[in-house]
Chain A
Amino acid sequence: METLPKSRDFQPAAASNLSEKELIQGLREKADWAFRELISRWSDKLYRLSLRFVKRPEEAQEIVQEVLLKVVEKIDTFEGSSSLYTWLYRVTVNESLMRLRPDKGKKTVSWEEVLPKYESGIHLENFSDWSKLPDEKFVEKEFQQFVQESIELLPDDLKTAYLLKDVEQLPEEEVCKILELTKPAMKNRVHRARLFLRKRIEERYVH
């Protein structure tokens, strides 16, 4: 970014419009505006994602701090073979999952059991269309908490794909890059997570 002076005090008028390349250059020059932009652009997103994994706000804050510190420490060696965007999400996912690992006693379910069952390709059960529940139901704290708890029951690989695709609404291509998955593998994980959640909600609120 030849046009930007190296002064740490210099703040571009529209830092938020800077390209990723310019931001990386600013971080390499240890410019204050670049640190501010890094925080402004990414910290809330990474916080939300890590909070979905670890639940405790303080721990999610720690993850954000560690991830952004890694950026500062490794920015000189960042080769740009993947985007900063992909790298940040990948490190956040890994850091969050690592913190979950000590929880060996975590409650899990045999999620395969709630997947649809077929006989010769035809459903063996009657489904309920709970999407027709009153709209107020979906914004109730209790409902949202139940869905959040259900997401937690998913195996890590399905949960991660589901959080990135459906909750954080990242584009498919980015989810694939972050998780280093092929598109069919990513879709399969998100699909199975949705099947599991659809069934859990049906069992809780319809039957």
Chain B
Amino acid sequence: MSIKHKMIRAMFGLMGLPTCEEVEQFAYDFLEGSLDSSTMKAVERHLKACKNCQRFIAAYRKTAALVKTFQRPMLDPEFKEKLFEFLVQKAGERV
């Protein structure tokens, strides 16, 4: 372990905060708001102290959100009508 990493880890340890790896492991629940309040606060405090995790979480959050804006194709109404006729016909064959 490099001196730099030792120092950072020691700092988080002294502050009672999760490591960067733990923050990543909490990321899903952090976004969902499903962490217990003490863990949530600890992650938030880590983020205040760690610019790199701030950047990570911001992009991770965007990854989860951006696909919501994607195009949502729909079926052609003409196909739906044919599908209806097809299902009625198939159901009739089963009588």
One of B27, B32, B52, B90 near A127 (C-beta < 8 A): B52
Least Cβ distance of B55 to chain A in Å? 4
**CB <8 Å contact, B86 and A194:** no
A51 B52 Cβ-Cβ under 8 A:
no
In order of increasing CB-CB distance, the 6 nearest A-B pairs are: A121-B19, A131-B62, A129-B55, A121-B21, A127-B55, A198-B63
Q: Say if the beta carbon of A85 comes within 8 Å of chain B.
A: no
Name the residue on B nearest A57 (C-beta).
Answer: B73
Q: A165 — nearest CB in chain B belongs to which residue?
A: B64
C-alpha gap A119/B7 in the complex (Å): 12
Chain B min CB distance to A163 (Å): 9
Chain A residue nearest to B74 (CB atoms) is A44
Chain A at the B interface: SS class: helix
Which range holds the interface residue count of chain B? 35 or more
Smallest Cβ-Cβ distance to A40: which chain B residue = B80
Interface size on A, residues (CB 8 A): 52
B87 CB contacts on chain A under 8 angstroms: 35, 38-39, 68-69, 72
Contact digits for A157-179, partner B, Cβ 8 Å, 1 yes 0 no:
00000000011010010000000
Contact between B83 and A43, CB atoms less than 8 A apart:
yes
Instruction: Please name the residue on chain A nearest to B29 by beta carbon.
Output: A187
| With A116-B24, A166-B68 already in contact, 7 other A-B pairs whose C-beta atoms are closer than 8 Å | A44-B75, A120-B5, A121-B20, A127-B56, A128-B55, A147-B67, A187-B28
A15 within 8 A of B: no
Cα-based distance from A122 to B2 in the complex (angstroms): 11
List, sorted by A's number, 13 A–B pairs whose CB atoms are closer than 8 Å. A51-B73, A61-B79, A120-B6, A121-B21, A121-B22, A122-B8, A126-B55, A148-B70, A169-B68, A172-B32, A197-B63, A198-B59, A201-B63
B48 contacts A by Cβ under 8 Å = no
Please state if A129 and B58 are interface contacts (CB–CB under 8 Å). yes
